[in-house]
Amino acid sequence: TKRIALITSGGDAPGMNAAIRAVTLQAEKFQYQVLGFVGGYNGLIENNFIELNRHRVDDIVRKGGTILKSARCKAMLSDVGPNSVVETLKVNKIDALIVIGGDGSFKGCQAISKLWQGNIIGIPGTIDNDINGTDQTIGFWTAVETALDSIDKIRDTANAFERIFIVEVMGRNCGFLAVESAIASGAEHIVCKEVIEDEVQFIDNLLVNINTAIKNHRTDSYIIVMAENSLNFSADALSKKIERYTGVDSKAAILGYIQRGGSPVASDRVLATQLGVAAVDAVRNNKSDIMVGMLNNRATETALCATSYNNTYNQEIIRRLNQLNFNLD
Ligand code: F6P
């Protein structure tokens, strides 16, 4: 039998519970024990865990958040954190560590890997979708749905008042959430790092485009979906700039943390279940320092060090946007 330590780490994402459930049930199949450490790496530092079994994970597949709680753990950035984690792993005779989280959480895995011989497996869980080695991360599609629902509602007011809206979505430094929710909502424009070569030029073009669209009455309202952190100024400052230039009422709406919560959509539950199973299978096969992901509908393994996402000129994002450029301006 093997003993698995499991944590959820970094920003919580809908579907993390489904992944916890899948890891637990797949582990039980092979009589492996799963210790769920509470509060991400903090639980591992403080040796704070609960034993997971089929009863503990009953009915969590549909719940948002994470029953294991999460954190961004500063101690993992120095030697102190990883050393304490390894001590806990040894005390509890752990064979494998499974981390459900994003890029930052995987950096923690790499630090532990230098000090510990056990198997380390990552499962990509973040609403940002900013991880290489998987087509989607757990939580992404639920966050898109949540953003979409809000943008649709904002469209009602935008139409009624013939206003311009800037809707800021999350994504950290990545535009996937913005792109998919913009496409799905029929937004008129998108702002994200991946498509900005020169910020001044980009904003100048945006202002001209909005003006033309409004002058030609191509649309009653104009919605710009903007990824957080994509400009050197805020969504509010952008709305003021646009208002000054066009003379049309412009408002900014920042969606914020609602995008992280809620019951996961079907595709996130299915993805989380597949990846939970794949992670335990990786443990069975004695794999280490890998992340399990889904590429073209197949479970795949990627070296943990290769999971970092680069937001400059992301060809996939540019391709998706070009395909759907309906030339409103
Ligand atoms: O990584 C998920 C995310 O929600 C990002 O989209 C956002 O930038 C960040 O986390 C917010 O982090 P925190 O919860 O630490 O404020």
Query: 287: Cβ below 6 Å to ligand 1?
Result: no
Return the percentage of the chain with pLDDT > 90, whole number: 90
Mean of the pLDDT values across residues 89-103? 98
pLDDT one-digit tens code per residue, 124-136: 999 999 999 999 9
Statement: residue 218 has pLDDT above 80: no
pLDDT one-digit tens code per residue, 240-261: 999 999 999 999 999 999 999 9
128 is catalytic: yes
Statement: residue 233 has pLDDT above 50: yes
DSSP SS3 for 233:
coil
Looking from the CA of residue 127, the nearest atom of ligand 1 is: 2
Averaged pLDDT of the chain: 95
Nearest in space to 4 (alpha carbons), one of 271, 284, 264, 206: 284
What are the C-alpha distances in Å from 252 to residues 156, 164, 220, 242, 288? 15, 9, 17, 11, 45
Query: 122: Cβ below 6 Å to ligand 1?
Result: no
Q: How far is the CA of 122 from the centre of ligand 1 (A)?
A: 19
pLDDT of residue 314: 78
Does pTM surpass 0.95? yes
- Encode burial over 59-90: b for 16+ CB neighbours within 10 A, e otherwise: ebbebbbbbbbbbbbebbeeeebbebbbebbe
Candidates 9, 12, 72, 260: which one to mutate for ligand 1, based on the most atoms within 8 Å of Cβ?
Answer: 260
Statement: residue 265 has pLDDT above 80: yes
CB 118, CB 99: distance < 8 Å: no
Instruction: Please name the residue whose Cα sits nearest to atom 5 of ligand 1.
Output: 172
Instruction: Please name the residue whose Cα sits nearest to atom 10 of ligand 1.
Output: 11
pLDDT of residue 311: 83
pLDDT band at 327 (very low <50, low <70, confident <90, very high): low
pLDDT one-digit tens code per residue, 106-124: 999 999 999 999 999 999 9
DSSP SS3 for 250:
strand
Q: How far is the CA of 11 from the centre of ligand 1 (A)?
A: 6
Instruction: Please name the residue whose Cα sits nearest to atom 4 of ligand 1.
Output: 11
pLDDT band at 326 (very low <50, low <70, confident <90, very high): low
Q: Which has the higher per-residue pLDDT, 316 or 112?
A: 112
Instruction: Please name the residue whose Cα sits nearest to atom 1 of ligand 1.
Output: 11
Q: How far is the CA of 34 from the centre of ligand 1 (A)?
A: 28
Query: 101: Cβ below 6 Å to ligand 1?
Result: no
Statement: residue 63 has pLDDT above 70: yes
Residue 8 CB: number of other CB atoms within 10 A?
A: 32
Instruction: Please name the residue whose Cα sits nearest to atom 7 of ligand 1.
Output: 172
pLDDT one-digit tens code per residue, 152-200: 999 999 999 999 999 999 999 999 999 999 999 999 999 999 989 899 9
Q: How far is the CA of 168 from the centre of ligand 1 (A)?
A: 13
